[in-house]
Structure 1
Amino acid sequence: MDDAERSDELFEKSEEEFLDKLSTVLNSAGNNLHKFVEEQPNNYLNSDLDRCLQSVEVATRKLHTNVHLLVDPVMSTKTKETIKMTELQSRYDDLYSKWQSQQRQLESTQAEIFRLKNQIMHQSTFCTSLGAVLCNLLWRASYFTQNVHVWLSGFQNKVGEFLCIVNGSFVSFINTYGDGLPSMNSDEFQFIMGLLGIVTNMSSTPEGREFLITNTNGKDLVQKLVIRISGIPLPSGNSLKRLMLMILYNVSVNQTGLQYLLELRVGEILGKCFEDSVPMELQVRALWFLQSITYDLNDATALKDILKAVPMIKIEKMTENEQDPMAPIAKEILENLEKAKATLNFDVRNSTNIN
């Protein structure tokens, strides 16, 4: 119930009370007059007419006073309620006007937001396309070691910033698309491929992999590659995973990089690289990586991880066909593992270091 309805109800209630009281007063006055008329003969006889008339006059004045006492409060209440209603109406009109103004402003703001969203979308598309083109050009340029030397000799701060961009972009790309990677020809995919391609070429040089593993952003990127490589979907992520394995292999050639990879328990991720569903090209890359981290291996935890994760039977089968280009690599891996077992006194039965 709003204020207007409560005001009307109050007035109606006051009016009913007023009518009841007025009826009581009028009935009382009528009774007095009736009594007066009945007593007139006696009044004439008693010569008391003046006194009776005075009584009637007094009763009439009293009636007039009582009527005013009843009517004035009701009229005063009605006047106050009317004023209040007028004030409420004025406030309502003001609030409604403000609401209409806010609605118009909201509509204008929504239209501006829609325009800005479209503008940002176009700018984002343009930036992604531009990034894909530039990164692919730099990828080709980084193939020449002299260019990498120039970058690292005079622009190490910028190269560090670049590795931070690669790290953030790579993680954002994987988090955004997950198992549903976009087409390899899309700007997004080409942008990430270009970034990782540059890092691959940079890490192929001694000074490049040294910088990659000693720079904070570079180490963080290597860690992200180790963590994320198992989750890259195949076959849509074949080319992406190939570059990741190449970067990790290049890092493992560096002694500091190898130690960091072993600390990251990299042996745990290699098993999935030798599954039957994995393309042969990726298995070859994984084999080269495995050969690198097992060379002069003296870490019992890493040896345990490798023996547990990598299907050794499959590695042994690779050595049976001497015509297979992977046979020499597989043979060297088995020799490295046997050497590590002997060096570490490794018990294969319970996979523990008994030193």
Structure 2
Amino acid sequence: MQASDFTKVQPLSSREDPGGDCFVRVHKRDLERLCTEVMQLREFVPKVINGDFLDALHKARSLDTLREQSQQQQQQLKQECLHLCSRLDAAQSECQREREEKLVLRERLWESREQLQQQAEFCTGLGAATCTVLWSASRKEEAVRDVLADGKLEPFLSVAGQTLESFVKSLDEEEKPQQQNYNSHEHQFVLALAGVIANLAAVTCGRDFISSSAHVLLDTLMQLLGLMKSGVFPKLKVLMLMALYNVSLSVNGLTYISESPALLSLICTLLEDRDSEVCLQALRLLQSLLVEGDVLAQISPDLQHSLPVEKIRQLASSRHSALRQTAQEMLEDINCLTKPRHTTIEKEQ
């Protein structure tokens, strides 16, 4: 064998020569064959490994990437969850604090309502007592003159009208009359107000003032009488009717009251009331309209044809003596009013 046929190569493992480099002699042809085989492997290995394997490899790498991303997202979601838990704890604490504050405010509200109710009862009682005293004092003409001299009567009548309106509209229409507590401070208050108005109208100077400067009050009284049902608070109805009757004693007052288009229907309704005193005062008001024949003819010439004559005849047989007497007088007044008309018709014929 020739020396040129051998080549020195490095050993495959350094364990063969622990002390230094070592060379192995191989045939040159074997080395060339080895190199050729290596090159062939490099050329054919990609062909041996198919595309599915490569796809699987890429997918595996992608899955590794997704796994890492999922872990990162999971970690991020965990942090967000912890943050939300912290916010939830804070919100629950805030809710509990607000709930406690709400309970405190509710207790204060209840206390305020009780205090307001007590103040309202006190003011109502004070108003009832004051107006009762004023009601008693207004029976004297000197007291009415003093009130007019002070110039405070107009605002008083305005407040009185508003108070009566508020009270009447707040009445429970479904409540039975026998169940109403007419002795309460509120009832006594409005009753005293109506009594003061009636007493003011009973005096000439007070009647003239109401007839000229308290038209809103007169409209309110007539409106409220129409709102109140039969049998409901008859004492208040009586006092309001007395006030209207006293005002009707003045020509100016009678003229203004008679101009109300709903006056006659109101009186007819009140004549059907179950309370005899209400019927009596309504009849007196109607009688006051008929007494002034000139005013009646000027204001409403057809009013005579609409008079509730049949109802008045029924009242003329009432057991209530004053009501029976007034109804009989009313029938006589109606006859006196109708006789001149019949005479005129006969002359024309």
TM-score normalized by the length of structure 2? 0.70
Partner of 1:92: 88
- Superposed, 1:108-127 pairs within 5 Å as 108-127=104-123
SS at match of 2:302: helix
1:76 CA drift (Å): 1.7
Structure 2 unmatched runs, 5+: 1-32, 46-53
Equivalent pairs counted in the alignment come to 290
User: Which protein shows a greater Rg?
Assistant: 2
Partner of 1:349: none
Partner of 1:219: 215
Q: Distance in 2 between matches of 1:284 and 1:317?
A: 9
Contact in 2 for aligned 1:252/1:292 (Cα 8 Å) = yes
Q: Distance in 1 between matches of 2:117 and 2:66?
A: 75
* Structure 1 residues 228 and 68: alpha-carbon distance in aligned structure 2, compared to 1, 3 A threshold: closer
**More displaced stretch, 161-170 vs 196-205:** 161-170
Q: Is it true that 1:238 corresponds to 2:234 in the alignment?
A: yes
Q: Distance in 2 between matches of 1:271 and 1:63?
A: 101
Q: Distance in 2 between matches of 1:239 and 1:197?
A: 10
Q: Is it true that 1:148 corresponds to 2:144 in the alignment?
A: yes
Partner of 1:190: 188
* Structure 1 residues 293 and 71: alpha-carbon distance in aligned structure 2, compared to 1, 3 A threshold: same
Contact in 1 for aligned 2:259/2:299 (Cα 8 Å) = no
One-letter amino acid of the structure 2 residue matched with residue 252 of structure 1? S
What is the root-mean-square deviation in Å for CA atoms of aligned residues? 3.6
Partner of 1:165: 159
Partner of 1:250: 246
Partner of 1:128: 124
> Could you report, residue by residue, the CA deviation over 1:120-176 in whole angstroms, capped at 9, with x for unpaired residues?
11111111111111111110000011000001012x2x2222112211211121111
One-letter amino acid of the structure 2 residue matched with residue 170 of structure 1? L
Contact in 2 for aligned 1:303/1:340 (Cα 8 Å) = no
Q: Is it true that 1:329 corresponds to 2:329 in the alignment?
A: yes
**More displaced stretch, 121-130 vs 302-311:** 302-311
Q: Distance in 1 between matches of 2:92 and 2:225?
A: 60
Percent identity (aligned): 24
Q: Distance in 1 between matches of 2:112 and 2:73?
A: 57
One-letter amino acid of the structure 2 residue matched with residue 160 of structure 1? E
1:205 CA drift (Å): 1.2
One-letter amino acid of the structure 2 residue matched with residue 164 of structure 1? S
> Could you report, residue by residue, the CA deviation over 1:53-107 in whole angstroms, capped at 9, with x for unpaired residues?
xx9xxx9x99997675344322222222122222222222222222222212211
Partner of 2:287: 291
- Superposed, 1:4-15 pairs within 5 Å as none
Partner of 2:338: 338
- Superposed, 1:40-59 pairs within 5 Å as 48=38
Q: Is it true that 1:270 corresponds to 2:270 in the alignment?
A: no
1:316 CA drift (Å): 9.3
Q: Distance in 1 between matches of 2:38 and 2:264?
A: 133
Contact in 2 for aligned 1:139/1:194 (Cα 8 Å) = yes
